[in-house]
Chain A
Amino acid sequence: METHDAPLRRTPLYDEHRRLGARIVPFAGWEMPVQYRGLVEEHRAVRTAVGLFDVSHMGEMFLSGEYAGQVLDYLVTSDLSKVAVGQAKYTAACNAEGTILDDLIVYRVARDTWLVVCNAGNRDKIAAHLAHAAENHCTFEDRSDATALIALQGPRALELLARAGEQAARAAALPSFHFTEAVVADVPATVARTGYTGEDGVELFCKATDAVALWTRLLELGRDLGIEPVGLGARDTLRLEARLSLYGNDIDETTHPLEAGLGWIVNLDKRDFVGKAALVAAKERGLARKLVGFEMTGRGIARHGYPIVAADGAPIGVCTSGGPSPTLGKSIGLGYVPAASSAIGTEILVDCRGKAVSAVIVKTPFYKRPTP
């Protein structure tokens, strides 16, 4: 998919993945575990019990100083003045055309300190973008290499976290999209109630040098709960069921957040920000296309890049993500279609390598976790 001249990089947990028998694949310049025991088994563990993910390839960057909040606010689509210390926000950074440089989670660590977590494949781009904006205004620091990120996700994730010490137990009671410092299994960590699976859970930031200790301890503590280490394969099927966007598939520098169904993270009433004028204009023009979810009704599996076609075979859009859904037992996908043909229930065709297979636009998320 992508070519990288630089040698592939490894997270601090690489040897643990090997020890667990993971299949390692290149991903966004990294050698990452795609699966351990099996994609479907790992997927089910996250939906029914708890899964552990190494996502240390993601970028962690800090902006700090009196003007850090204003600098970051100018770079993202959300209104950060509403984000309190200890709160996190899912947002996007756009370019001047209003298309997406990356989707991000920003964390207000202190009044004047912000943590920005970006996708692995966008680390260099976002680091340069933030550093440039910070120049003469605030301090920029890329701590990605020194930081590990471990996600603990699933209906029993918080129960497991609560076993990892007194502070960890307190952190397990945090509301969604809040975070705190806490010692977890004797490792100093930042515990955030965030994730990328559609399940409840946390993401744990720690020092790269503490990653192995935290990882192995969580696997031990969760053994009787049915914990599984989970690779990128199941991470993708989990996020697709929950309709969480994957950068490089569903969103990129050719798509803007409004057509991607991310209007809820765009605040056009806030102060000026990069891409605002373009997004205001796009909204006024009306959306030409929309990212929708669909279910295959014919016999076929839609994959990233397959054309969505009209009854006469003419291309009208493109599938951006697709595959079998382990939870639903059917094949699902996301794709851009003309706004006029984007209503729920609309029948479409996906060109699966020359074979037009029928599908129907459905409501998303495809999967929503049962409310406790």
Chain B
Amino acid sequence: MSDPFETKPGYLYTKDHEWVRVVGDLVEVGITAYAVDQLGDITLVDLTVKPGDAVTEGKPFGTVESVKTLSDLYAPLSGTVERVNPDLETRAELVNEDCWGKGWMVAIRPTTPGDTAKLLDPSAYAALLASIA
């Protein structure tokens, strides 16, 4: 099993254990190794948004379910959904296998690009994990 306290340089984080990666004008969103570890074996990713939909910071854009439990996915910032990960529809386990890469969930075009400054950097997120460990 991967290290649940792993943080990746170049990624930004929310206190809800989602990650954000800036790719050009867009931000990709996924969940962190800690979130994956808390959930266990993920069996269903249900994204309630599609390309073109607006998302609002702090509001749910879907759910992720494991054998054990269900957890909401919260938009890390406001914007418009550009893409959703089509592979998760049939292969939710990608989130377990590669939460930082193939398990990405949505790509959002932020309404205010500067909003990413509100997110946690890797050291701040590592400190958050250390405080709850």
Contacts and interface: CB of A to CB of B under 8 A. Distances in A.
B40 A39 contact: yes
Interface string B62-85: 010111101000000000000000
B1 interface: yes
A86 to B, nearest CB: 38
B14 interface: no
Interface string B29-45: 00000000000110110
Interface stretch (A76-84, A110-118, A296-304, A309-317): A296-304
Contact of A38 (B40, B65, B89): B40
B97 interface: no
A121 interface: no
Contacts of B63: 353
Interface in A326-353: 326, 331, 353
Given A38-B1, A353-B63, A301 B70 contact: yes
Contacts of A355: 46
A324 B46 contact: no
Interface string A182-195: 00000000000000
Interface residues of A, number: 19
Contacts of B46: 299-300, 355
A39 B43 CA distance: 12
Contacts of B89: 299
B40 A35 contact: yes
Secondary structure type dominating chain A contacts: mixed
B44 A39 contact: no
Nearest to A37: B1
Contacts of B41: 38-40, 326
A257 to B, nearest CB: 28
Nearest to A35: B40
A24 to B, nearest CB: 13
Given A38-B1, A353-B63, A301 B68 contact: no
B67 A237 contact: yes
A39 B70 contact: no
B36 to A, nearest CB: 11
Contacts of A303: 70
A252 to B, nearest CB: 21
A303 B41 CA distance: 16
A323 B67 contact: yes
Nearest to B63: A353
A65 interface: no
B70 A300 contact: no
Contact of A233 (B1, B65, B68, B70): B68
Contacts of B40: 35, 38-40, 233
Interface of B: 1, 40-41, 43-44, 46, 63, 65-68, 70, 89
Interface of A: 34-35, 37-40, 43, 233, 237, 299-301, 303, 323-324, 326, 331, 353, 355
30 contacts: A35-B40, A35-B68, A37-B1, A38-B1, A38-B40, A39-B40, A39-B41, A39-B66, A39-B68, A40-B40, A40-B41, A43-B67, A233-B40, A233-B67, A237-B67, A299-B44, A299-B89, A300-B44, A300-B46, A301-B65, A301-B70, A323-B68, A324-B44, A324-B65, A324-B67, A326-B67, A331-B43, A331-B44, A353-B63, A353-B70
Given A35-B40, A323-B68, 17 more contacts: A34-B68, A37-B1, A38-B1, A38-B40, A38-B41, A39-B41, A40-B40, A40-B67, A233-B68, A237-B67, A299-B46, A299-B89, A301-B70, A303-B70, A353-B63, A353-B70, A355-B46
